[in-house]
Amino acid sequence: MVGAILSVAASMASVMLGCLDGCYCIITEALRIHPSTGLILERCTPKGGVTLHGKYIPEDTIIGVNCWVVNRDKGIFGDDAHSFRPERWIDRDPKDVARMRTNMFTFGAGARNCIGKNLAMMQLTKIIVELYRNFQITLVNPDKTWKVSGGWLTRQTDIVSVLRQFNLQLRARGE
């Protein structure tokens, strides 16, 4: 009996972890394809300047990269880099996935990586799981193109959706 219970528990845990893996892939892909930062992440070149890709850049020059450009690099994310495809995070060689994670620029990189990244990912995962656990979400106009306005932070508009709460009622044992 205990073996059967443990087997069912292990099976359920496997399914739940699979769902969390899927959720993580969807969130990661959404952040890759639509990072919130719209402007370049600026840096100043060091004293004495720097040579990048064979070009000398004098000291104190503001340089930077744009998340939207890096996150769509076909050399990193594949020929379908402009497509929303969450499977890319699980159906590739683990070395390729590690390379994609290293080069995804949504939260910055290196010494200036966003210190709130782990907290943000935890909050996003919790929110997405709870939203889809409690609501059926549908777009009012699924064929309508979203409007994206740029700036330091990008904003999306014209995404009208309907949330219908599931009629689940939890009762305490013995009620």
Specify if 110 maps to a domain.
Answer: yes
Beta bridge partners of 65: 41
Specify if 151 maps to a domain.
Answer: no
Specify if 120 maps to a domain.
Answer: yes
- Which CATH number is 9's domain given? 1.10.630.10
In the chain, the number of structural domains is 1
d(CA 44, CA 27): 31
Write out the residue range of the structural domain in which residue 59 sits: 2-132
Q: What band does 132 get if pLDDT is binned at 50, 70 and 90?
A: confident
Q: Is 114 annotated as a binding residue?
A: yes
Specify if 158 maps to a domain.
Answer: no
Residue 64 corresponds to which amino acid?
A: G
C-beta of residue 163 within 8 angstroms of C-beta of residue 135: yes
pLDDT tops 60 at residue 17 = no
Ordered alpha helix ranges (H), the chain = 2-33, 67-70, 74-77, 94-103, 117-134
**Mean pLDDT for the chain overall:** 85
Ordered alpha helix ranges (H), 34-52 = none
pLDDT tops 80 at residue 96 = yes
User: Which one has a higher pLDDT value, 3 or 70?
Assistant: 70
Specify if 92 maps to a domain.
Answer: yes
Residue 144 corresponds to which amino acid?
A: K
pLDDT tops 60 at residue 1 = no
User: Which one has a higher pLDDT value, 33 or 12?
Assistant: 33
Specify if 82 maps to a domain.
Answer: yes
